[in-house]
Chains A and B, each alone.
Chain A
Amino acid sequence: MDDRFLNQHRRDPEHGFANALRGRLRRLEEDEEAAPARVRWMPTLAAAAGVALVAGLFLVPAMRVAAQSVLDLFRVRTFAAVPFDASRMDRLRELAQQGDSSGDPIKLGVEKVETLKDPGPPRVYPTLEAGAAAARLERVRSAGWLPTGMAADTVRVQDEAAARFTLGTTKLRALFDALDLRDVQVPTQLDGQQITVRMSPALIQTYRGGTRRVQLLQAVSPEVTLPPGTDLAQLAEIGLRVLGLDRTEAQRIAHSLDWRSTLLVPVPANAASFRQVTVQGRPGLLILSSGMGAKGQRRREGSLLLWTEGDRVLALGGDLREMDLMQMAQSLR
Protein backbone atom coordinates (compact mmCIF):
# COMPACT_ATOMS: atom_id res chain seq x y z
CA MET A 1 0.00 0.00 0.00
CA ASP A 2 1.60 3.24 -1.12
CA ASP A 3 1.00 5.66 1.70
CA ARG A 4 4.07 7.86 1.40
CA PHE A 5 1.89 10.86 0.64
CA LEU A 6 0.41 10.44 4.14
CA ASN A 7 3.65 9.70 5.94
CA GLN A 8 5.58 12.65 4.63
CA HIS A 9 3.52 15.25 6.44
CA ARG A 10 4.64 14.53 9.95
CA ARG A 11 6.39 17.53 11.44
CA ASP A 12 8.25 18.25 14.62
CA PRO A 13 6.57 20.84 16.82
CA GLU A 14 8.03 24.33 16.68
CA HIS A 15 10.73 24.84 19.31
CA GLY A 16 8.96 27.91 20.66
CA PHE A 17 5.76 26.01 21.18
CA ALA A 18 7.51 23.01 22.73
CA ASN A 19 9.48 25.18 25.15
CA ALA A 20 6.46 27.26 26.12
CA LEU A 21 4.41 24.17 26.88
CA ARG A 22 7.21 22.63 28.92
CA GLY A 23 7.38 25.86 30.89
CA ARG A 24 3.64 25.76 31.59
CA LEU A 25 3.90 22.18 32.83
CA ARG A 26 6.68 23.19 35.18
CA ARG A 27 4.54 26.02 36.53
CA LEU A 28 1.69 23.58 37.09
CA GLU A 29 4.05 21.51 39.18
CA GLU A 30 5.13 24.57 41.16
CA ASP A 31 1.48 25.43 41.81
CA GLU A 32 0.89 21.93 43.12
CA GLU A 33 3.83 22.21 45.45
CA ALA A 34 2.62 25.57 46.68
CA ALA A 35 -0.71 24.07 47.71
CA PRO A 36 0.08 20.70 49.24
CA ALA A 37 -2.74 20.89 51.76
CA ARG A 38 -5.34 21.16 49.07
CA VAL A 39 -5.75 17.44 48.78
CA ARG A 40 -5.11 16.66 52.39
CA TRP A 41 -8.57 17.35 53.62
CA MET A 42 -10.29 16.07 50.52
CA PRO A 43 -9.19 12.47 50.48
CA THR A 44 -12.50 10.92 49.80
CA LEU A 45 -12.99 12.49 46.41
CA ALA A 46 -9.89 11.07 44.83
CA ALA A 47 -10.11 8.16 46.99
CA ALA A 48 -13.15 6.50 47.67
CA ALA A 49 -11.11 4.62 45.23
CA GLY A 50 -7.96 4.26 47.02
CA VAL A 51 -5.56 4.61 49.77
CA ALA A 52 -6.79 7.89 51.18
CA LEU A 53 -10.22 6.60 51.93
CA VAL A 54 -8.75 3.51 53.46
CA ALA A 55 -6.61 5.80 55.56
CA GLY A 56 -9.65 7.83 56.49
CA LEU A 57 -11.37 4.64 57.36
CA PHE A 58 -8.58 3.19 59.36
CA LEU A 59 -6.57 5.93 60.92
CA VAL A 60 -9.53 6.56 63.10
CA PRO A 61 -11.69 3.54 62.87
CA ALA A 62 -9.17 0.84 62.09
CA MET A 63 -9.19 0.03 65.70
CA ARG A 64 -12.92 0.30 65.99
CA VAL A 65 -13.85 -2.65 63.96
CA ALA A 66 -13.87 -5.66 66.14
CA ALA A 67 -17.36 -7.04 65.99
CA GLN A 68 -19.95 -9.11 67.69
CA SER A 69 -20.47 -11.83 65.16
CA VAL A 70 -18.11 -14.16 63.40
CA LEU A 71 -18.18 -11.99 60.33
CA ASP A 72 -19.42 -8.46 60.44
CA LEU A 73 -19.74 -6.00 57.62
CA PHE A 74 -19.37 -2.25 57.41
CA ARG A 75 -21.02 -0.21 54.65
CA VAL A 76 -21.17 3.54 54.32
CA ARG A 77 -24.62 4.94 54.77
CA THR A 78 -23.84 8.32 56.27
CA PHE A 79 -20.85 10.58 56.67
CA ALA A 80 -19.80 12.46 59.77
CA ALA A 81 -16.94 14.86 60.18
CA VAL A 82 -14.60 15.17 63.11
CA PRO A 83 -12.28 18.16 63.44
CA PHE A 84 -8.72 17.43 64.41
CA ASP A 85 -5.48 19.29 64.88
CA ALA A 86 -3.45 19.01 61.69
CA SER A 87 -0.27 18.85 63.73
CA ARG A 88 -1.36 15.41 64.92
CA MET A 89 -1.42 14.17 61.34
CA ASP A 90 2.04 15.62 60.84
CA ARG A 91 3.21 13.76 63.93
CA LEU A 92 1.74 10.50 62.61
CA ARG A 93 3.52 11.00 59.31
CA GLU A 94 6.73 11.73 61.15
CA LEU A 95 6.39 8.50 63.13
CA ALA A 96 5.68 6.60 59.95
CA GLN A 97 8.88 7.94 58.42
CA GLN A 98 10.93 6.92 61.43
CA GLY A 99 9.68 3.38 61.82
CA ASP A 100 9.12 0.51 59.45
CA SER A 101 5.90 1.93 58.06
CA SER A 102 7.41 3.09 54.79
CA GLY A 103 6.20 6.59 55.50
CA ASP A 104 2.61 5.44 55.46
CA PRO A 105 0.71 6.41 58.63
CA ILE A 106 -1.86 3.73 57.95
CA LYS A 107 0.77 1.12 58.79
CA LEU A 108 1.23 2.48 62.28
CA GLY A 109 -0.41 0.02 64.60
CA VAL A 110 -0.93 -2.49 61.82
CA GLU A 111 1.25 -5.57 61.79
CA LYS A 112 0.81 -6.43 58.16
CA VAL A 113 -0.86 -4.92 55.10
CA GLU A 114 -1.57 -7.27 52.20
CA THR A 115 -2.76 -6.00 48.86
CA LEU A 116 -5.36 -8.43 47.61
CA LYS A 117 -6.32 -6.45 44.53
CA ASP A 118 -4.25 -3.59 43.16
CA PRO A 119 -6.57 -1.10 41.48
CA GLY A 120 -3.89 0.18 39.13
CA PRO A 121 -4.21 3.63 37.64
CA PRO A 122 -7.57 5.09 36.62
CA ARG A 123 -8.56 4.39 33.05
CA VAL A 124 -10.00 7.01 30.73
CA TYR A 125 -13.20 6.17 28.85
CA PRO A 126 -14.61 7.98 25.83
CA THR A 127 -18.18 8.24 27.11
CA LEU A 128 -20.08 8.22 30.37
CA GLU A 129 -21.89 5.08 29.28
CA ALA A 130 -18.64 3.25 28.63
CA GLY A 131 -17.26 4.35 31.98
CA ALA A 132 -20.44 3.32 33.80
CA ALA A 133 -20.30 -0.11 32.21
CA ALA A 134 -16.66 -0.52 33.22
CA ALA A 135 -17.50 0.53 36.78
CA ARG A 136 -20.47 -1.84 36.78
CA LEU A 137 -22.81 0.98 37.75
CA GLU A 138 -26.35 1.38 36.48
CA ARG A 139 -28.18 4.68 36.22
CA VAL A 140 -25.16 6.85 36.89
CA ARG A 141 -25.68 10.51 37.65
CA SER A 142 -24.30 13.46 35.75
CA ALA A 143 -24.62 17.21 36.22
CA GLY A 144 -27.72 18.86 34.80
CA TRP A 145 -26.30 22.29 35.56
CA LEU A 146 -22.74 23.58 35.43
CA PRO A 147 -21.24 26.89 36.50
CA THR A 148 -20.61 29.29 33.64
CA GLY A 149 -17.59 28.30 31.59
CA MET A 150 -17.42 24.73 32.81
CA ALA A 151 -17.92 21.70 30.60
CA ALA A 152 -17.66 17.93 30.89
CA ASP A 153 -14.05 16.92 30.51
CA THR A 154 -13.04 13.31 31.11
CA VAL A 155 -14.61 10.09 32.35
CA ARG A 156 -12.35 7.77 34.29
CA VAL A 157 -12.80 4.58 36.21
CA GLN A 158 -10.75 3.52 39.17
CA ASP A 159 -10.80 -0.24 39.29
CA GLU A 160 -11.73 -2.21 42.39
CA ALA A 161 -9.22 -2.64 45.17
CA ALA A 162 -8.87 -4.88 48.18
CA ALA A 163 -6.49 -5.07 51.10
CA ARG A 164 -6.19 -7.05 54.30
CA PHE A 165 -4.85 -5.52 57.51
CA THR A 166 -3.54 -7.58 60.39
CA LEU A 167 -3.61 -5.71 63.70
CA GLY A 168 -0.87 -6.02 66.28
CA THR A 169 -1.16 -4.89 69.88
CA THR A 170 2.59 -4.42 70.22
CA LYS A 171 2.64 -1.91 67.43
CA LEU A 172 -0.47 -0.23 68.77
CA ARG A 173 1.12 0.17 72.19
CA ALA A 174 4.25 1.57 70.61
CA LEU A 175 2.11 4.05 68.73
CA PHE A 176 0.28 5.16 71.86
CA ASP A 177 3.59 5.56 73.68
CA ALA A 178 4.97 7.67 70.87
CA LEU A 179 1.87 9.86 71.00
CA ASP A 180 2.07 10.03 74.78
CA LEU A 181 -1.35 8.44 75.16
CA ARG A 182 -0.66 6.79 78.51
CA ASP A 183 -4.28 6.32 79.55
CA VAL A 184 -5.40 4.34 76.50
CA GLN A 185 -5.86 0.60 77.00
CA VAL A 186 -5.16 -1.74 74.09
CA PRO A 187 -7.68 -4.61 73.94
CA THR A 188 -5.55 -7.74 73.84
CA GLN A 189 -8.07 -9.61 71.74
CA LEU A 190 -7.13 -7.37 68.81
CA ASP A 191 -3.78 -9.03 68.37
CA GLY A 192 -3.63 -10.83 65.06
CA GLN A 193 -7.14 -9.87 64.06
CA GLN A 194 -7.64 -9.26 60.37
CA ILE A 195 -9.72 -6.61 58.64
CA THR A 196 -10.46 -6.81 54.94
CA VAL A 197 -11.40 -3.75 52.92
CA ARG A 198 -12.91 -4.01 49.46
CA MET A 199 -13.34 -0.93 47.34
CA SER A 200 -15.77 -1.13 44.43
CA PRO A 201 -14.88 0.38 41.05
CA ALA A 202 -15.40 4.13 41.10
CA LEU A 203 -16.64 6.26 38.21
CA ILE A 204 -15.05 9.70 38.20
CA GLN A 205 -16.42 12.45 35.96
CA THR A 206 -14.31 15.58 35.67
CA TYR A 207 -15.73 18.95 34.71
CA ARG A 208 -13.36 21.73 33.84
CA GLY A 209 -13.47 25.42 33.06
CA GLY A 210 -10.28 27.45 32.78
CA THR A 211 -8.25 26.59 35.83
CA ARG A 212 -11.25 25.34 37.80
CA ARG A 213 -11.98 21.67 38.13
CA VAL A 214 -14.81 19.70 39.70
CA GLN A 215 -15.03 15.95 40.06
CA LEU A 216 -18.04 13.75 40.65
CA LEU A 217 -17.30 10.31 42.03
CA GLN A 218 -19.80 7.48 42.18
CA ALA A 219 -19.14 4.04 43.60
CA VAL A 220 -20.84 1.32 45.51
CA SER A 221 -19.99 1.63 49.19
CA PRO A 222 -16.70 0.11 50.25
CA GLU A 223 -17.11 -3.02 52.34
CA VAL A 224 -15.14 -3.79 55.45
CA THR A 225 -15.16 -7.30 56.78
CA LEU A 226 -14.58 -7.26 60.50
CA PRO A 227 -13.16 -9.78 62.93
CA PRO A 228 -15.25 -11.15 65.74
CA GLY A 229 -15.14 -9.73 69.07
CA THR A 230 -14.87 -6.42 70.64
CA ASP A 231 -16.76 -3.31 71.57
CA LEU A 232 -16.93 -1.04 68.53
CA ALA A 233 -17.37 2.10 70.58
CA GLN A 234 -14.29 1.28 72.61
CA LEU A 235 -12.24 0.88 69.48
CA ALA A 236 -13.66 4.06 68.01
CA GLU A 237 -12.59 5.90 71.11
CA ILE A 238 -9.05 4.60 70.68
CA GLY A 239 -9.01 5.75 67.08
CA LEU A 240 -10.24 9.20 68.01
CA ARG A 241 -7.54 9.49 70.65
CA VAL A 242 -4.95 8.63 68.03
CA LEU A 243 -6.35 11.48 65.99
CA GLY A 244 -5.73 13.81 68.88
CA LEU A 245 -9.12 14.20 70.51
CA ASP A 246 -9.19 14.39 74.28
CA ARG A 247 -10.67 11.57 76.27
CA THR A 248 -14.04 13.20 77.00
CA GLU A 249 -14.67 14.20 73.39
CA ALA A 250 -13.51 10.85 72.06
CA GLN A 251 -15.89 9.03 74.40
CA ARG A 252 -18.78 11.29 73.47
CA ILE A 253 -18.34 10.76 69.74
CA ALA A 254 -17.56 7.06 70.07
CA HIS A 255 -20.83 6.38 71.81
CA SER A 256 -23.00 8.60 69.64
CA LEU A 257 -22.42 7.14 66.16
CA ASP A 258 -23.50 3.95 64.46
CA TRP A 259 -20.09 2.59 63.56
CA ARG A 260 -21.37 0.02 61.10
CA SER A 261 -22.75 2.58 58.73
CA THR A 262 -21.02 5.89 59.42
CA LEU A 263 -17.80 6.89 57.73
CA LEU A 264 -15.92 9.40 59.80
CA VAL A 265 -14.10 12.06 57.79
CA PRO A 266 -11.26 13.80 59.65
CA VAL A 267 -11.17 17.53 58.86
CA PRO A 268 -8.25 19.80 59.82
CA ALA A 269 -9.81 22.22 62.30
CA ASN A 270 -7.93 25.34 61.22
CA ALA A 271 -8.17 24.75 57.48
CA ALA A 272 -11.76 23.77 56.85
CA SER A 273 -15.29 23.88 58.18
CA PHE A 274 -18.14 21.46 57.71
CA ARG A 275 -21.85 21.07 58.20
CA GLN A 276 -24.70 18.74 57.42
CA VAL A 277 -26.75 19.59 54.30
CA THR A 278 -29.53 18.04 52.25
CA VAL A 279 -28.82 16.80 48.71
CA GLN A 280 -31.94 15.96 46.76
CA GLY A 281 -33.68 15.03 49.99
CA ARG A 282 -30.81 13.00 51.38
CA PRO A 283 -28.45 13.96 54.19
CA GLY A 284 -24.97 14.96 53.11
CA LEU A 285 -21.77 16.32 54.56
CA LEU A 286 -20.40 19.58 53.14
CA ILE A 287 -16.76 20.43 53.83
CA LEU A 288 -15.48 23.90 52.93
CA SER A 289 -11.84 24.87 52.85
CA SER A 290 -11.05 28.20 54.41
CA GLY A 291 -8.59 29.24 51.72
CA MET A 292 -5.87 28.72 54.29
CA GLY A 293 -3.81 25.57 54.59
CA ALA A 294 -3.46 23.60 57.79
CA LYS A 295 -0.10 25.29 58.34
CA GLY A 296 -1.41 28.75 57.55
CA GLN A 297 -0.33 28.83 53.92
CA ARG A 298 -2.65 30.26 51.28
CA ARG A 299 -4.42 27.87 48.99
CA ARG A 300 -7.28 27.83 46.58
CA GLU A 301 -10.74 27.71 48.09
CA GLY A 302 -12.71 24.59 47.49
CA SER A 303 -15.56 22.48 48.69
CA LEU A 304 -16.42 18.82 48.99
CA LEU A 305 -19.85 17.25 49.31
CA LEU A 306 -20.37 13.64 50.41
CA TRP A 307 -23.61 11.71 50.50
CA THR A 308 -25.12 8.33 49.76
CA GLU A 309 -27.99 7.05 47.68
CA GLY A 310 -28.91 3.53 48.70
CA ASP A 311 -25.73 1.51 48.51
CA ARG A 312 -23.98 4.13 46.42
CA VAL A 313 -21.49 6.71 47.67
CA LEU A 314 -21.28 10.04 45.87
CA ALA A 315 -18.66 12.73 46.24
CA LEU A 316 -18.65 16.07 44.46
CA GLY A 317 -15.78 18.44 45.02
CA GLY A 318 -13.41 20.92 43.50
CA ASP A 319 -12.57 24.56 43.05
CA LEU A 320 -16.09 25.87 43.45
CA ARG A 321 -17.89 28.13 45.84
CA GLU A 322 -20.38 26.50 48.13
CA MET A 323 -23.36 27.91 46.24
CA ASP A 324 -22.21 26.57 42.88
CA LEU A 325 -21.29 23.18 44.28
CA MET A 326 -24.67 22.78 45.94
CA GLN A 327 -26.52 23.87 42.82
CA MET A 328 -24.53 21.39 40.77
CA ALA A 329 -25.28 18.61 43.26
CA GLN A 330 -28.98 19.41 43.27
CA SER A 331 -28.99 19.27 39.46
CA LEU A 332 -27.63 15.72 39.21
CA ARG A 333 -29.86 13.49 37.16
Chain B
Amino acid sequence: MAIEDAGIGRSWARAAANEDDWDALYAEQLPRIYNFFRYRVGHGAVAEDLTSLTFEKAWTARRRYRRDLGRFSTWLLAIARNVAVDHWRRHREHAPLDAAAHVDAGERPDEGAERRSDEERLGLLLAALPDRERELIALKYGAGLTNRAIARQTGLGESNVGTLLHRIVQALRARWTEGA
Protein backbone atom coordinates (compact mmCIF):
# COMPACT_ATOMS: atom_id res chain seq x y z
CA MET B 1 0.00 0.00 0.00
CA ALA B 2 2.94 2.28 0.55
CA ILE B 3 3.15 5.10 -1.92
CA GLU B 4 6.63 5.91 -3.07
CA ASP B 5 7.60 9.53 -3.41
CA ALA B 6 9.52 8.86 -6.58
CA GLY B 7 6.42 7.82 -8.44
CA ILE B 8 4.51 10.81 -7.27
CA GLY B 9 7.46 12.99 -8.14
CA ARG B 10 7.34 11.73 -11.70
CA SER B 11 3.65 12.50 -11.83
CA TRP B 12 4.30 15.99 -10.61
CA ALA B 13 6.98 16.37 -13.22
CA ARG B 14 4.48 15.43 -15.87
CA ALA B 15 2.03 17.91 -14.45
CA ALA B 16 4.66 20.61 -14.51
CA ALA B 17 5.22 19.92 -18.16
CA ASN B 18 1.56 19.91 -19.02
CA GLU B 19 -1.17 21.65 -17.09
CA ASP B 20 -3.69 19.07 -18.29
CA ASP B 21 -1.87 16.42 -16.28
CA TRP B 22 -3.17 18.11 -13.17
CA ASP B 23 -6.23 15.96 -13.63
CA ALA B 24 -4.11 12.84 -13.39
CA LEU B 25 -2.19 14.15 -10.43
CA TYR B 26 -5.40 15.13 -8.70
CA ALA B 27 -6.86 11.68 -9.24
CA GLU B 28 -3.71 10.10 -7.88
CA GLN B 29 -3.43 12.22 -4.76
CA LEU B 30 -7.06 12.71 -3.77
CA PRO B 31 -7.63 9.22 -2.27
CA ARG B 32 -4.44 9.45 -0.25
CA ILE B 33 -5.26 12.84 1.31
CA TYR B 34 -8.91 11.90 1.80
CA ASN B 35 -7.99 8.71 3.63
CA PHE B 36 -5.39 10.53 5.69
CA PHE B 37 -8.21 12.69 7.03
CA ARG B 38 -10.59 9.74 7.48
CA TYR B 39 -8.09 8.18 9.84
CA ARG B 40 -6.97 11.50 11.30
CA VAL B 41 -10.27 13.22 12.09
CA GLY B 42 -13.03 10.78 11.26
CA HIS B 43 -15.27 9.82 8.41
CA GLY B 44 -17.82 11.74 6.43
CA ALA B 45 -18.21 15.41 5.81
CA VAL B 46 -15.36 16.60 8.00
CA ALA B 47 -12.83 14.50 6.12
CA GLU B 48 -14.21 15.82 2.84
CA ASP B 49 -14.10 19.42 4.03
CA LEU B 50 -10.50 19.16 5.18
CA THR B 51 -9.50 17.37 1.99
CA SER B 52 -11.04 20.22 0.01
CA LEU B 53 -9.22 22.81 2.08
CA THR B 54 -5.89 21.02 1.57
CA PHE B 55 -6.27 20.84 -2.19
CA GLU B 56 -7.44 24.42 -2.46
CA LYS B 57 -4.36 25.59 -0.59
CA ALA B 58 -2.09 23.42 -2.69
CA TRP B 59 -3.81 24.47 -5.88
CA THR B 60 -3.48 28.14 -5.05
CA ALA B 61 0.24 27.72 -4.41
CA ARG B 62 0.95 25.15 -7.10
CA ARG B 63 3.00 27.32 -9.43
CA ARG B 64 5.50 28.06 -6.73
CA TYR B 65 6.16 24.36 -6.34
CA ARG B 66 6.80 23.32 -9.89
CA ARG B 67 10.52 23.08 -9.44
CA ASP B 68 10.16 20.76 -6.50
CA LEU B 69 9.49 17.79 -8.70
CA GLY B 70 10.44 15.09 -6.27
CA ARG B 71 8.70 16.20 -3.13
CA PHE B 72 5.20 17.14 -4.07
CA SER B 73 3.65 14.37 -2.00
CA THR B 74 5.59 15.49 1.05
CA TRP B 75 4.51 19.06 0.54
CA LEU B 76 0.86 18.14 0.03
CA LEU B 77 0.83 15.99 3.15
CA ALA B 78 2.52 18.76 5.14
CA ILE B 79 -0.35 21.04 4.17
CA ALA B 80 -2.84 18.34 5.14
CA ARG B 81 -1.16 17.88 8.51
CA ASN B 82 -1.34 21.62 9.16
CA VAL B 83 -4.99 21.65 8.18
CA ALA B 84 -5.63 18.83 10.64
CA VAL B 85 -3.79 20.64 13.43
CA ASP B 86 -5.86 23.76 12.80
CA HIS B 87 -9.01 21.66 12.78
CA TRP B 88 -8.26 20.13 16.15
CA ARG B 89 -7.27 23.48 17.54
CA ARG B 90 -10.69 24.83 16.63
CA HIS B 91 -12.69 21.76 17.55
CA ARG B 92 -11.48 20.01 20.62
CA GLU B 93 -13.92 17.16 20.41
CA HIS B 94 -11.93 14.11 21.30
CA ALA B 95 -14.12 11.19 22.22
CA PRO B 96 -13.61 10.28 25.85
CA LEU B 97 -11.64 7.14 26.53
CA ASP B 98 -14.58 5.34 28.02
CA ALA B 99 -16.47 5.83 24.77
CA ALA B 100 -14.01 3.51 23.14
CA ALA B 101 -14.41 1.06 26.00
CA HIS B 102 -18.14 0.85 25.37
CA VAL B 103 -17.40 -0.13 21.82
CA ASP B 104 -16.01 -3.38 23.11
CA ALA B 105 -19.52 -4.59 23.73
CA GLY B 106 -19.99 -4.47 20.00
CA GLU B 107 -23.78 -4.25 20.37
CA ARG B 108 -26.18 -1.70 21.72
CA PRO B 109 -27.79 -3.32 24.77
CA ASP B 110 -31.20 -1.90 24.02
CA GLU B 111 -31.18 -2.72 20.33
CA GLY B 112 -30.56 -6.39 20.43
CA ALA B 113 -28.38 -7.75 17.70
CA GLU B 114 -27.85 -4.55 15.74
CA ARG B 115 -24.13 -4.29 15.48
CA ARG B 116 -22.22 -1.18 14.98
CA SER B 117 -20.26 -1.19 11.79
CA ASP B 118 -16.60 -2.00 11.89
CA GLU B 119 -15.94 1.43 10.49
CA GLU B 120 -17.72 3.10 13.34
CA ARG B 121 -15.89 0.94 15.88
CA LEU B 122 -12.54 1.81 14.37
CA GLY B 123 -13.47 5.48 14.37
CA LEU B 124 -14.15 5.40 18.07
CA LEU B 125 -10.95 3.52 18.79
CA LEU B 126 -8.94 6.06 16.81
CA ALA B 127 -10.74 8.93 18.51
CA ALA B 128 -9.49 7.64 21.85
CA LEU B 129 -5.86 7.80 20.77
CA PRO B 130 -3.61 10.67 21.79
CA ASP B 131 -3.20 13.17 18.99
CA ARG B 132 0.33 12.17 18.06
CA GLU B 133 -0.48 8.49 17.88
CA ARG B 134 -3.53 9.10 15.78
CA GLU B 135 -1.49 11.11 13.33
CA LEU B 136 1.00 8.27 12.94
CA ILE B 137 -1.84 5.87 12.24
CA ALA B 138 -3.32 8.29 9.71
CA LEU B 139 0.00 8.69 7.92
CA LYS B 140 0.57 4.94 7.83
CA TYR B 141 -2.87 3.55 7.05
CA GLY B 142 -4.67 6.56 5.66
CA ALA B 143 -1.97 8.15 3.53
CA GLY B 144 -0.23 4.84 2.98
CA LEU B 145 3.27 6.07 3.79
CA THR B 146 6.25 3.88 4.54
CA ASN B 147 7.88 4.23 7.94
CA ARG B 148 10.73 6.06 6.24
CA ALA B 149 8.36 8.58 4.65
CA ILE B 150 6.62 9.07 7.99
CA ALA B 151 9.99 9.71 9.59
CA ARG B 152 10.69 12.40 6.99
CA GLN B 153 7.31 13.99 7.60
CA THR B 154 7.42 14.00 11.36
CA GLY B 155 11.09 14.39 12.14
CA LEU B 156 11.10 11.14 14.13
CA GLY B 157 13.68 8.45 13.52
CA GLU B 158 12.59 5.64 11.20
CA SER B 159 13.14 2.96 13.82
CA ASN B 160 11.28 5.08 16.33
CA VAL B 161 8.34 5.31 13.95
CA GLY B 162 8.35 1.54 13.59
CA THR B 163 8.44 1.01 17.33
CA LEU B 164 5.69 3.49 18.04
CA LEU B 165 3.44 2.12 15.31
CA HIS B 166 3.96 -1.44 16.48
CA ARG B 167 2.93 -0.51 19.99
CA ILE B 168 -0.09 1.53 18.87
CA VAL B 169 -1.33 -1.16 16.51
CA GLN B 170 -0.94 -3.86 19.15
CA ALA B 171 -3.05 -1.86 21.59
CA LEU B 172 -5.66 -1.11 18.96
CA ARG B 173 -5.83 -4.74 17.87
CA ALA B 174 -6.36 -5.88 21.43
CA ARG B 175 -9.34 -3.60 21.78
CA TRP B 176 -10.58 -4.47 18.32
CA THR B 177 -10.49 -8.18 19.08
CA GLU B 178 -12.18 -7.72 22.42
CA GLY B 179 -15.03 -5.93 20.71
CA ALA B 180 -15.47 -8.41 17.88
Contact = CB atoms under 8 A, between A and B. Distances in A.
A140 B65 CA distance: 25
A21 B173 contact: no
A139 interface: no
Contact of B30 (A5, A6, A21, A120): A21
A153 B166 CA distance: 33
A29 B31 CA distance: 22
Interface residues of B, number: 46
A120 B39 CA distance: 31
B51 interface: yes
A14 to B, nearest CB: 8
User: How big is chain A's contact interface, by range?
Assistant: 20 to 34
Given A13-B51, A29-B59, A126 B67 contact: no
B67 A121 contact: yes
A18 interface: yes
Contacts, number: 93
Contacts of B137: 6
A12 B57 contact: no
B88 interface: no
Interface string A40-54: 000000000000000
B85 interface: yes
A157 B176 CA distance: 42
B81 A120 contact: no
A3 interface: yes
A3 B56 CA distance: 32
A120 B172 contact: no
B38 A11 contact: yes
Contacts of B60: 28
Given A21-B55, A24-B56, A126-B85, A6 B169 contact: yes
B79 interface: yes
A6 B59 contact: no
Nearest to A28: B59
Given A28-B60, A120-B68, A18 B119 contact: no
A9 B122 contact: yes
Interface string A111-155: 000000010111110100000000000000000000000011110
A248 B52 CA distance: 54
A24 B53 CA distance: 11
Given A21-B55, A124-B79, 14 more contacts: A1-B166, A1-B170, A6-B141, A7-B141, A11-B34, A14-B48, A18-B30, A25-B55, A28-B59, A121-B65, A122-B64, A124-B78, A153-B57, A154-B57
6 contacts: A6-B169, A6-B172, A10-B31, A121-B65, A121-B75, A122-B64
